[in-house]
């Protein structure tokens, strides 16, 4: 069994030990954290774990700001940053493997040019919060709960104060137009379950304690402790739900926006809110559901891999959380997908929750906030760190390296190392360093030039994506090709 709190602590500690750049201002700004933890477990040996990628961030840019050069990060939600950092890490590990370095996480497979993750290694995805979108639509069942007790903020004294106990307030009783006019920090509401910010504190569902997802009131398998009703039944019974700021994509059943529990449709694809304009970025729940079938490695690395890399588990920090909403969002929606190409499958990760809360979460920040500090707001920067020898740290704001002058935007210096174009260049370096005889078949004797070309040439991956789209996500918006034709 995975040591859930140990994994969580590892991620929080790793964040704490990073330099200050890009971190939220204590007591005023909050952020979200996600990470990928590499787990090594040989039979009868002690489990070894290390963070190989970490991301923070709450923002997403609108359609108009997207770049055809692939040089801007469209989506800077922590989960997305953490996955992209992991792709950067894996690209470096493949480069090591190709050059014969035995320290790589990859070992050769029986197929020429294809590699696989060493058998004792697995990857766990950590997120400090429930992912935005479908997983954040959580029934509020039972008695009003209190906000998570405070945790010691980074570098601060623990004053030993207790959590404020506040009454459940139902935002659902407000008319939608009024709610939507309310000013929100930066016009974004990534911290789902907490939009607008005050209600975050007041309406948490009962919090499962450490490693006890069975306490979740809507977990279908939990027949003993509760009523034995299915998750759906519980959802119908709940008087209200936590909400997501992510909007249904065209073609999906739109939200009924009825008061209380009837506000949202569940199980549908959603796009993230941006700064007042629509984005093309799917919610983290949707992207994570996609990883459940396609793997976390993306199209490019799949050229080099014998099989996709799936997350063994998703660990969520202490926050409003529902096991059944997570199951619905990440697993149930894709569970029926069949006819996948060889090596692809529906891989349901273990869904676990920790008892430890992130000290820079929105509730913790509100708790330690002083009115003199200005209003509590999401941190505008996104931090990426990954386990690579050169420039592991990459801090961005608005999709470009933080601190860039307007004049520098568009230059290579302004690019994030996890932007599409930089990950593509790292991949091309891998291809160039691979001896011709050791190239995967999908890349041999091909005239591939653009990012689009290389992605399309990943045949099995594209087939799997096609099946997933047709069977589970027909409304998934396609990225415009003109945004992917850079070199
Ligand atoms: Zn998100």
* pLDDT in single tens digits along all 487 residues of the chain: 899 999 999 999 999 999 999 999 999 999 999 999 999 999 999 999 999 999 999 999 988 889 999 999 999 999 999 999 999 999 999 999 999 999 999 999 999 999 999 999 999 999 999 999 999 999 886 544 434 445 554 444 333 333 333 333 333 223 333 333 333 333 344 556 544 333 333 334 444 444 444 444 453 333 333 333 444 544 456 778 888 888 898 888 888 998 888 888 899 999 998 777 778 999 999 999 999 999 999 999 999 999 999 999 999 999 999 999 999 999 999 999 999 999 999 999 999 999 999 999 999 999 988 888 889 999 999 999 999 999 999 999 999 999 999 899 889 999 999 999 999 999 999 999 999 999 999 999 889 999 999 999 999 999 999 999 999 999 999 988 999 999 9
Output the pLDDT for position 182: 37
Residue 194 alpha carbon to ligand 1 centre in Å: 13
What is the distance between the alpha carbons of residues 252 and 269, in angstroms, rounded to a whole number? Answer: 7
What is the distance between the alpha carbons of residues 160 and 146, in angstroms, rounded to a whole number? Answer: 17
What is the distance between the alpha carbons of residues 288 and 351, in angstroms, rounded to a whole number? Answer: 12
Residue 142 alpha carbon to ligand 1 centre in Å: 27
**Domain regions of the chain by residue span:** 4-483
Output the pLDDT for position 166: 33
Residue 2 alpha carbon to ligand 1 centre in Å: 24
Give residues with Cβ within 8 angstroms of 216, minimum separation 6.
208, 222, 321, 322, 323, 324
Residue 244 alpha carbon to ligand 1 centre in Å: 10
Residue 282 alpha carbon to ligand 1 centre in Å: 9
SS3 state at 424? helix
Output the pLDDT for position 186: 36
Residue 113 alpha carbon to ligand 1 centre in Å: 35
| Contact call for residues 79 and 284 (beta carbons, < 8 A) | yes
Residue 132 alpha carbon to ligand 1 centre in Å: 4
Which H helix or E strand runs over 466? helix 459-471
Give residues with Cβ within 8 angstroms of 423, minimum separation 6.
84, 87, 88, 91, 300
Output the pLDDT for position 30: 97
| Contact call for residues 271 and 254 (beta carbons, < 8 A) | no
Residue 427 alpha carbon to ligand 1 centre in Å: 26
Q: Tell me whether residue 338 is exposed, middle or buried, using C-beta atoms within 10 angstroms of its C-beta: 0 to 12, 13 to 18, 19 or more.
A: exposed
Residue 120 alpha carbon to ligand 1 centre in Å: 30
Residue 467 alpha carbon to ligand 1 centre in Å: 24
Residue 288 alpha carbon to ligand 1 centre in Å: 10
What residues are annotated to the active site?
79
Output the pLDDT for position 208: 41
Residue 190 alpha carbon to ligand 1 centre in Å: 6
| Contact call for residues 272 and 316 (beta carbons, < 8 A) | no
247-252-255 Cα angle (round to 5): 50
């Amino acid at each position: 069994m995975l040591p859930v709190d140990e994994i969580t602590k590892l991620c929080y500690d790793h964040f704490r030990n990073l330099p200050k750049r890009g971190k939220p201002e204590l007591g005023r700004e909050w952020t979200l954290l996600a990470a990928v933890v590499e787990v090594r477990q040989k039979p009868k040996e002690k489990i070894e774990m290390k963070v190989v990628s970490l991301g923070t961030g709450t923002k997403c840019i609108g359609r108009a700001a997207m770049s055809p050069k692939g040089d801007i990060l469209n989506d800077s939600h922590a989960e997305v940053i953490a996955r992209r950092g992991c792709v950067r890490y894996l690209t470096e590990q493949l480069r090591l493997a190709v050059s014969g370095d035995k320290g790589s996480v990859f070992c050769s497979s029986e197929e020429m040019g294809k590699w696989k993750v060493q058998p004792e290694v697995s990857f766990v995805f950590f997120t400090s919060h429930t992912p935005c979108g479908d997983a954040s639509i959580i029934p509020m069942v039972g008695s009003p709960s209190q906000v998570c007790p405070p945790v010691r903020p980074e570098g601060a004294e623990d004053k030993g104060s207790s959590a404020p106990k506040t009454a459940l307030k139902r935002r659902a009783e407000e008319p939608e137009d009024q709610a939507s006019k309310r000013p929100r920090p930066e016009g974004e509401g990534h911290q789902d379950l907490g939009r607008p910010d005050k209600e975050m504190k007041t309406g948490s569902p009962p919090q499962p304690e450490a490693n006890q997802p069975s306490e979740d009131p809507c977990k279908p398998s939990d027949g003993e402790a509760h009523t034995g009703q299915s998750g759906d039944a519980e959802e119908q019974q709940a008087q209200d739900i936590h909400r997501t700021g992510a909007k249904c994509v065209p073609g999906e059943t739109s939200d009924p926006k009825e008061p209380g529990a009837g506000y949202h449709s569940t199980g549908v694809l959603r796009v993230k809110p941006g700064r007042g304009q629509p984005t093309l970025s799917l919610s983290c729940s949707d992207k994570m559901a996609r990883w459940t079938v396609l793997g976390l490695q993306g199209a490019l690395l799949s050229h080099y891999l014998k099989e996709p890399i799936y997350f063994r588990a998703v660990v969520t920090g202490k926050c409003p959380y529902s096991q059944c909403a997570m199951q619905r969002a990440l697993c149930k929606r894709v569970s029926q997908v069949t006819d996948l190409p060889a090596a692809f499958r529906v891989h349901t990760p273990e869904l676990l929750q920790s008892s430890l809360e992130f000290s820079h979460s929105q509730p913790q920040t509100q708790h330690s906030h002083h009115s003199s500090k200005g209003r509590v707001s999401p941190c505008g920067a996104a931090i990426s760190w990954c386990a690579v020898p050169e420039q592991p740290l990459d801090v961005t704001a608005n999709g470009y390296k933080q601190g860039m002058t307007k004049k520098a935007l568009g230059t290579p210096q302004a690019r994030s190392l996890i932007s599409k174009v930089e990950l593509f260049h790292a991949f091309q370096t891998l291809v160039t360093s691979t001896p011709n005889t050791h190239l995967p078949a999908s890349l041999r004797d091909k005239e591939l030039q653009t990012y689009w070309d290389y992605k399309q040439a990943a045949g099995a991956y594209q087939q799997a994506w096609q099946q997933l789209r047709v069977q589970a996500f027909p409304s998934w918006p396609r990225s415009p090709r003109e945004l992917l034709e850079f070199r």
